[in-house]
Amino acid sequence: MRTGIKGMGIYLPEKVMTSEEVEIKAGYERLGARKGLVRMITGVEERHYAAEDEYSSDLAYQAAKNAMEDAGITADEVDTLIFCSVTQDFAEPATANVIAEKLGLHNAYCFDVKNGCNAFLQGMDIADSLIKTGKAKNVVITSGEALSKWVRFDYDNKDDLMVGSPVTLSLGDGGGAFVIGQVADDKGIITSFFRTFPELWNNNVMWGGGVRYPREPEKMYIPGTTKPLIDKHLQIGTEFMAQALEKTGWTMDDVDFFASSQAAKWIVKKVSEETGVSPEKRSSVITKWGNAACANLPLVVYEARREGRIKEGSKVVFIGAAVGFNSCVFTIQF
C-alpha cells in the first residue's frame, strides 16, 4: 500500500509587513542599526502577520479547510487530524482539538506533534504509518504558525537588537495543510529518513511556556540564536540527501523538485549548489512569505504545484531541518 498527498491548502493572513517596516518597528532607526540588514542576511522582503485576534488554530483551520476541499473529502471522512506547528494557542490541551471543532470533525482522532520546523514532515510520517496499519483512511496534517506573536520588538539597546535580530524579524505567519490518503502503487511516499542530534538542543530555545520558566514574560520571545544549527544543517545536507536517494533508487537527475526548509534564502541556495540542485528545481518562498517554520514545506509545495513545477508524476524530495537539532528527508511521487 502507498500513501500520498490527496489534497493541499494554504492560508496567509491579510496583514503584510515589509522588511523595512519590521526594522523600524524593532527600533533599527532609533538604535542606529544598519537599514536593510534583514533583507541582506535572510533574503526576506515581505512576510504576513496574523491579526491581533488571529491565532495558530485559525491559520491551521483555514489551510485544512482548503486542503479538504482540494481533496474532495468531507468532515465525516476524516479519521485523524494532526496539528504540526512551532506555535500553538495554549499549553494544554492540544490545539488540534480547537481546529477539529472549527472543521466539524466529530469522528476524528486529533493530536499535536511538536518538533521544531520538522513537525510537519513527522506528521506526514505518522499519517503514513496510521494508514498503512489500517488505523486511518484520511489524515489531515495542518500547521498554523503565528510566529509574529513571539517576536520581540521592544529592544533597549543596539547590542541586544543585533543578537535578537535579524533572524527573528525574518519570521512570517501562515498556514499549510495536506490530506494524506491511500494512492496508486506507483505514487505516494516512498521513503523517509530522520536523524536527531540532541547535543544541539540548547540553541534558539523558546524558554517560556514550560515549567522551567512558567511566569517570566521576557522568556516568551524566540531568541534567534541559530548559527550552530545552520552550520550543522549545511554539514549534513549533502550526506542525508545522498542516503535518501540511494534508499529510494533515484538519482539527482530523476528528481523534478526539491522542497526545503526556508530558514534563509542563502541557505536554500548554498545547500542546493552543494547537492547539485538546479535553480528551476528549487523554491525560495521565504522572499515573499518569510520563514513560516512548520508551514514552510506545505507553502513551498503548494506554490510549486500552482506554478506547474509539481504535477502528476513528479518526483519530489522534501528536506527539513529544525531546532533540536533534527534533520529529515522525504521522497514522494505525485
How large is the average pLDDT for residues 129-150?
Answer: 97
Q: Could you tell me the pLDDT band of residue 47, with boundaries at 50, 70 and 90?
A: very high
Q: What does the pLDDT read at residue 292?
A: 95
How large is the average pLDDT for residues 139-148?
Answer: 98
The answer to whether residue 62 scores a pLDDT higher than 90 is: yes
- How far is 111 from 136, CA to CA, in rounded Å? 14
Q: What does the pLDDT read at residue 186?
A: 86
How large is the average pLDDT for residues 91-110?
Answer: 96
Q: Do 13 and 154 sit in the same domain of this protein?
A: yes
91 Cβ partners below 8 Å, 6+ apart?
209
The percentage of residues in the chain with a pLDDT greater than 70, rounded to a whole number, is 97
The answer to whether residue 96 scores a pLDDT higher than 90 is: yes
Q: Do 52 and 145 sit in the same domain of this protein?
A: yes
Helix/strand/coil (H/E/C) assignment for every residue in 180-243: EEEECCCCEEEEEEEEECHHHCCCCCCCECCCCECCCHHHCCCCCCCHHHHHHHHHHHHHHHHH
More confident residue, 108 or 42: 108
Q: Do 141 and 215 sit in the same domain of this protein?
A: no
Q: Do 209 and 270 sit in the same domain of this protein?
A: yes
- Helix, strand, or coil (residue 159): helix
**Pick from 132, 166, 183: which residue ends a domain?**
183
Peptide bond into 325 cis (omega under 30): yes
Q: Could you tell me the pLDDT band of residue 237, with boundaries at 50, 70 and 90?
A: low
User: Which is nearest to 259 in space by CA: 216, 300, 302, 206?
Assistant: 300
Domain ranges, residue 292: 188-333
Q: What does the pLDDT read at residue 152?
A: 93
CATH number of the CATH domain containing 173: 3.40.47.10
Q: Do 155 and 271 sit in the same domain of this protein?
A: no
Q: Do 179 and 194 sit in the same domain of this protein?
A: no
- How far is 137 from 321, CA to CA, in rounded Å? 28
**Pick from 154, 183, 212: which residue ends a domain?**
183
307-324 pLDDT per residue, tens: 999 999 999 999 887 787
The answer to whether residue 286 scores a pLDDT higher than 70 is: yes
The answer to whether residue 165 scores a pLDDT higher than 90 is: no
**Pick from 183, 204, 220: which residue ends a domain?**
183
Q: Do 20 and 145 sit in the same domain of this protein?
A: yes
Mean pLDDT rounded to a whole number for the chain: 91
Asked if 58 and 145 count as a contact pair (C-beta separation under 8 A), the reply is no
Q: Do 118 and 218 sit in the same domain of this protein?
A: no
Q: Could you tell me the pLDDT band of residue 303, with boundaries at 50, 70 and 90?
A: very high
254-268 pLDDT per residue, tens: 999 998 877 767 777
- How far is 82 from 72, CA to CA, in rounded Å? 19
Q: Do 102 and 169 sit in the same domain of this protein?
A: yes
195-207 pLDDT per residue, tens: 888 888 888 888 8
Q: What does the pLDDT read at residue 117?
A: 84
- How far is 104 from 98, CA to CA, in rounded Å? 10
Q: Do 11 and 43 sit in the same domain of this protein?
A: yes
- How far is 9 from 70, CA to CA, in rounded Å? 7
DSSP summary character for residue 156: S
- How far is 148 from 168, CA to CA, in rounded Å? 9
> For the chain, how many structural domains are there in total?
2
Q: Do 119 and 203 sit in the same domain of this protein?
A: no
Q: What does the pLDDT read at residue 245?
A: 87
Q: Do 153 and 205 sit in the same domain of this protein?
A: no
